[in-house]
Structure 1
Amino acid sequence: MKHITWIVITFLLLATTGVFAGDTDRLISRANRYFSPLPAAMPGSENDTPERIALGKQLYFEKRLSINDTQSCASCHLLEGGKAGVDNLPTSPGAKGELGTRNSPTVLNAG
C-alpha cells in the first residue's frame, strides 16, 4: 500500500509540473502587466491645478477629519524620511490608538 501511495504522489507531482511548464509565456505576460513601470503621469493628473493640489495636501494632514481629532492620513501613510507612504508596521494604529486589522498601503502614485 505504501508503495502505491508513493507512486501516486510522484505521478501527481510530475503531472502538475508539466501543466505549469507550458504556461510560461502567459505567466510572464501577466507579470509584466502587474509589475510594469508606472506611467510618467498618472491618468487624470491633467486636471490637477495648484488649488486642488493645495487642498489635497491640506486634507491629507488634517487631523480634524478623524473620529477623535488625533489622526490624519499622514499619521499612517508617512511621506517623510523615504517611507514611500507607509508606516512599515504589520497593522496600523487606528482611532483611539487601537491597532487595526491591516497595514497602511502606499499612497504614492495613488492618483
Structure 2
Amino acid sequence: QARKIQVLLPHVMEVLHDGNRAIKMKALVVFRNVMRHLKRKEASPIAVQLVEELLPLLDDESSQMRELSISLFRDVVATVVGKDKRRMKKKVRRGLLPLFFNMHDETDSVAK
C-alpha cells in the first residue's frame, strides 16, 4: 500500500506549505509512515525533497510540530543512499543551526 500512496506524496508535500498546523502535522505522520514502508532506494529521492520542506518546520512555535519535524528529519537523513547523499548533505547543513538551538528547547522531547 505504501507504494500506491507514493504517487500522492507530491500532493501531500504541498500541504506542508499550508498555514494550518493540524494538517501539516497529519502530513508529517503520513510521510513518516510511508517512508518506513518503502525500500531505501525508493525513499531516497523523496527524502532529499522532503528534508527541504522540513527545514522551516524545525523552528515552528508548536513544540509538537518541532518534535515531529525533527524526528522525521532524522529518519529521512538516514534513508538517503547513493548519489542522493551529496544533495542531502547540502540541505542538511542548512538545518544544523535550527537543530542546534532546539537542543536547548524548553520541551524535553524536542531537545532530545
**TM-score higher than 0.5 here?**
no
* Larger relative helix fraction: 2
After TM superposition, the score normalised by the length of structure 2 is 0.27
Q: Which structure has more RCO (C-alpha within 8 Å, separation ≥ 6)?
A: 2
Q: TM-score, normalised by structure 1?
A: 0.27
